[in-house]
Amino acid sequence: MTLPRDARPRRHHSPHPDYRPLPDYRLYLVTDPSMTAEHGLVRTVLEAVDGGVTLVQLRDTEVDDDEFVRIGRTLHTALAGRVPLIVNDRVHLVAAIGAEGAHVGQGDLPIDQARALLGPDRLLGLSVQTTRHLEVARALGEDLIDYVGIGPVWDTATKPDAAEAGGPERTTAIAAASPWPSVAIGGISLDRVPRVRATGVDGISVVSAICGRPSPRDAAAALLAAWSS
């Protein structure tokens, strides 16, 4: 779902360009192929969207590009525009999938090159772990990206190669320094949602808190309720 520009408060300093959609970042689902195997990827994601997920990132590091495009197209068709679909890392496949954007990490394609591949109208997110990462991104151009993912907040088993966890304190510092909307990721469980919201981020990004649950719909609804309370 893409919100009207007056539907939610925005940071007064956000450089988000007016020609790109403004997503609702409150509950950002990142998929995991092993965790969605029981219900299937599409069913898991659609149930999660029914429960309140506002943004979906397709992440699968095991399949080749052709299979990734097939999976992405199937998921994008099933979503039918209900929420934006973001592609993890494989920026060169966004157009083939028809996705609304991409997300890159510090070791992936640089954001200026990613933006050149995406064009001006698609969304681009960047993972950051320090305020220095923000400074480097700003130097390249504030309008290149649309949001940052801050984390991991806590240790997470869903991404073994993740950076060292920074805790809520570091998340607070990065969110305060960011000119872009921010989402926190890493070890976020239902009981930790209030602590994460207190850091000043615009939303939470989760994997196992939804993908690994018996009912993705119920899990998403509980997370969104905890964020909104």
The catalytic residues are 59, 127, 159
Q: Are 42 and 221 in contact (CB under 8 A)?
A: no
Closest CA to 29 of 50, 51, 8, 54: 54
Query: What does 17-35 look like in DSSP terms, one character per residue?
Result: -TTS--B--SEEEE--TTT
Q: What is the C-alpha R_g of the chain?
A: 16
- Which phi and psi (to 5°) does residue 183 adopt? -125, 145
Euclidean distance between CA atoms 57 and 155, whole angstroms: 20
Euclidean distance between CA atoms 30 and 77, whole angstroms: 17
What does the buried/exposed string (b/e) look like for 110-145 if buried means 16 or more CB atoms within 10 Å of the residue's CB? ebeebbeebeeebbbbbbbbbeebbeebbeeeeebb
